[in-house]
Amino acid sequence: MPNTASQLTAEHPHGHARDVASDPQHALNAYFRDNEPAAARAPPASRSARMLFEDASTPAVVLGCFRHGGLAMVRSLGRLGVPVYAVHADSWTPGLFSKYCREGIIWDLRTSSAEQSVRFLADLGRRIGRRSVLIPTSDIGAMFVADEAEQLAEWFIFPRQDRGLIRSLCSKREMYHLAGKWNVPTPRTAFPRSRADVVQYIETARLPVLLKPIYSDLPGRAVAPMTLCHTEQELIARYDAVEDPSMPNLMLQEFIPGGDEMTFTFNGYFDRDGDCKVAFTGRKLRNYPPYFGQASLGICVHNDVVAKTTIDFMKGIGYRGPLDLEYRYDTRDGRYKVNDINPRIGAMFRLFVGANGMDVARALYQDMTGQPVLASSTQEGRKWIVEDCDWVSALRYCRDGRLTLKGWRQSLRG
């Protein structure tokens, strides 16, 4: 299957990962006393890979090395000779076992205070010995870096982003209003603050309805997954079961008909000057978990409407940095409607690799290290699969009558 990228192939460990105590300074110092840095470097980059970077000596720190997305980040930069350090909440995430991971360090950003995490990262920066490119991979990470930019800047390089804008993009409520201000289509949405608001919404709503979290990731708090509710009773019962009235975090959104393939994506990088030289578009083919999860199978597809809408929107609000964004295509009115904006690198970023080898992580590294960002665009028909998840979703879709064996085999051809 040409042009199919696998993200979860096992690799031999090149660094080490251990638990650390709750005090970041003491824990990190103890970690480094027990684990002197290995003299061995990551495998040398190939000649063609080295051509992308004029200089790959600046280290990179991946803040949140989640499953296939984190592993892809470590590989993408490590293969070009960049020393990559991975910070994650547990020691079993695949990226920490990659031969391209210089060191894996355990730290949970979700359960630690901002002060603790700043102190932890400052100690890590001192230990590395030079300013490193800091790459958050979660909403919590993106908001944390924007909030603590002044303190982190001594040891790390990252796009300087307005903290209010980043929080607005991470909040589906603020993102909804921001999109409306810039005339970007969105699904009809309501933000109830009580059970009575839900009951009132039902009076004019068209079922089924999506019940979604406003913030998909919150420090120290469990977030209910998105649910498609087909009846009034189901919607009210689900709302009562998962909402915390003292801290409302649920929204109601119309369901745009169609399968996973109606979700179109944009991956791009907006440099220091706000230019977007690296811009890719594609669409999901399957999700894991089925229907409302992350992409487990995707394909690159040129889409001028998605690209232009996104670039105009982001330039209008003054966005800088990597971007992962989703639209649903509504066949009822022929419009692409934005339903998710991630002001960071997304888990499926390695679907989007240009003919010159560029991806969003590499564009970020080039920009942050003062190198020219090489322009790149969509490779039509390139496919990407998460091997250990996609077959599970395929079985579910087959069981539901939405996928045949022949259709499954055809979907894997690229």
Q: Give the CATH number of the domain where residue 135 resides.
A: 3.40.50.20
Among the listed ranges 43-47, 320-324, 326-330, 371-375, which one has the minimum average pLDDT value? 43-47
Q: Which of 158, 180, 208 is the last residue of a domain?
A: 158
Q: Can you give the residue range of the structural domain that contains 202?
A: 188-254
Query: Do 274 and 240 lie in a common domain?
Result: no
Average pLDDT over residues 222-235: 92
| pLDDT tens digits for range 39-56 | 334 556 555 555 789 999
pLDDT at residue 218 in the model: 79
Query: Do 277 and 390 lie in a common domain?
Result: yes
Query: Do 39 and 79 lie in a common domain?
Result: yes
Query: Do 91 and 200 lie in a common domain?
Result: no
Strand partners, 384: 5, 298
Residue 171 lies in a domain: no
What is the separation of C-alpha 13 from the centre of its chain, rounded to a whole number of angstroms? 24
Residue 338 lies in a domain: yes
Average pLDDT over residues 263-278: 97
pLDDT at residue 235 in the model: 96
| pLDDT tens digits for range 280-304 | 999 999 999 999 899 999 999 999 9
3-state secondary structure 37-99: CCCCCCCCCCHHHHCCCCCCCCCEEEECCCHHHHHHHHHHHHCCCCCEEEEECCCCCHHHHCC
Query: Do 70 and 154 lie in a common domain?
Result: yes
Give all strands of the β-sheet with 84-88 in edge-to-edge order. Answer: 101-106, 84-88, 60-63, 132-136, 156-157
Query: Do 115 and 203 lie in a common domain?
Result: no
pLDDT at residue 49 in the model: 56
Query: Do 129 and 231 lie in a common domain?
Result: no
Q: Which of 137, 158, 179 is the last residue of a domain?
A: 158
| pLDDT tens digits for range 241-253 | 999 988 899 999 9
| CATH number of the domain encompassing residue 210 | 3.30.1490.20
Q: What percent of the chain has pLDDT over 90?
A: 83
Query: Do 245 and 267 lie in a common domain?
Result: no
393 backbone dihedrals φ, ψ, rounded to 5°: -65, -40
Its pTM stands at 0.88
Residue 317 lies in a domain: yes
Residue 181 lies in a domain: no
CA distance 103 to 129: 14
| pLDDT tens digits for range 147-206 | 999 999 999 999 999 999 999 999 999 999 999 999 999 999 999 999 999 999 999 999
Residue 48 lies in a domain: yes
Query: Do 379 and 272 lie in a common domain?
Result: yes
Query: Do 39 and 137 lie in a common domain?
Result: yes
Average pLDDT over residues 301-321: 98
How many structural domains is the chain composed of?
Answer: 3
Single-letter residue type at 137: T
Look-up: residue for tokens 């924007």? 146
Q: What percent of the chain has pLDDT over 70?
A: 88
Residue 380 lies in a domain: yes
Residue 86 lies in a domain: yes
| CATH number of the domain encompassing residue 319 | 3.30.470.20
Check: CB of residue 7 under 8 Å from CB of residue 386: yes
Query: Do 231 and 265 lie in a common domain?
Result: no
Query: Do 246 and 271 lie in a common domain?
Result: no
Q: Which of 158, 174, 202 is the last residue of a domain?
A: 158
Please say if the pLDDT value at position 34 is more than 70: no
Residue 175 lies in a domain: no
